[in-house]
Structure 1
Amino acid sequence: MSEETTPPRPSLATLLQSGPMPRSAVPAAEANAGTAEQEAPPRVAAQDEIQDSVGDDRRMEQDEDPPTHAGSVAPSFLRHAPTGSIAARRPPRWQWLLLAALTLLLAVQVVIADRATLAARAGWRPVVSGLCAVLRCTLPAWHQPEAYTMLQREVRPLAGRQGVLQVQASFRNDARWAQAWPALSLSLSDADGRVIGRRLLQPHDYLGAAHDPAQRLEPGQSAQVSFQLREPSAATVAYTFEFR
């Protein structure tokens, strides 16, 4: 069996004298390394292409958004809204004036339509009275019976007529506004305080035919009335007046 002998490797001096080593003599490992070095540039080129594409995407995003000044950050819907669109949405001033005029007209109509009820309230009476003075509308008379003050009263039997009483009274209107003539309630009592008779007299009952329903008693004005009344019982000793 023959043994293989490994030829001796030439020395470094021999290699330098003999010139460059033939390509076939280059070891396989070194050849593979050269191949790897030659294939590396395509990978670098691929990375450059990826970086270029990312840079293009960033430039496109920057082009989509308009540049803003430093310190002023606005929402996206305002950045894309046209200039002056917000001011254009505001209604013109004449529309506000028209709305205010219509609201005032409606309020006046409501007050005039319900003037009878409002005029019966002390707080609303001056307002309604002023409107009716301008618009020439009528108001019902002020009705405040407790504002009448009895100044003098007298009830006595009428001479020469059995069972008839002569009644005389004077009163004053202390209300803030003119009032119609009041209704008079006259109660008669006996010595024990029991009411034995009551009569409610309307203005035409104690004023007679001379009464004018439109006549008013102005604030502070006094009136005197006199009328006759049939006595319900001879035991009458006391009487009471009330305004209605």
Structure 2
Amino acid sequence: MRFAVVDDMEEVLKTIHNLIIQYTNDYEINVDCYASAGAFLDNYSTRNYDALFLDIDMPDISGFKIAEILHEHGYNIPIVYITGRDDLITNAFRYKPIGFVRKQHLETELEFTIDTIKSELNMATVYISVKEPRTFGGKDYSLNVDEILYFKTAKHYLEIKLINNKAITIRDKISNYSDNPKLKNFVMIDSGILINLAHIKVVDNAVELSNGERMLISRRRVQFVLQAYIKYSKKVLI
């Protein structure tokens, strides 16, 4: 998951960032913080945010104005309004926010709101749960399938590469994932590599990934991979 936080108060920005990390420790999470509305507006279009935590009362551009700009550009993102003023809440329903958090009640109200966001995202987003061996940290992960680049066997282990280039190592067999219905947009390019079709382009007998990596397709799988890629591309365009 990727969240954006916009607030002109550095202390509040830091607190919200830390609380989000605390309340989402069972997820792979990225939090981008912006100390001004302008900084967010300069960058949001190149990010794929799952939710926006937005201060209403800012000196340069109000949170309401930011919501209006996003709506006009077709950027439909769940918004959580952050405010220290109760009187502003009644004006905030125009763009259907997912929640409100008052600055004087950050800890309690933010936890509830994040639980709501996770529930909403889980309805639309597919996740798989994996666990690292102790030798690799022993951490539990709930991974958004759309954010996985590939699975790759490494002796008795399986490496999971994410779109942010993070690699997670687990002890498992790739066959447990190649037949997983949650991974219907993945294809085996050889006996040890399972690729996400959403993040590749096929070039001759190889695939180029969105992070710049290039991997060869085994000779006997070239036609199968190409057909799977064409089928996926048509589905996306419909």
Query: What's the TM-score, normalizing by structure 1?
Result: 0.18
Q: Which has the higher contact order (CA 8 A, sep 6+)?
A: 1
Query: What's the TM-score, normalizing by structure 2?
Result: 0.18
> Rg bigger for which structure?
1
Between Structure 1 and Structure 2, which shows a larger proportion of strand residues?
2
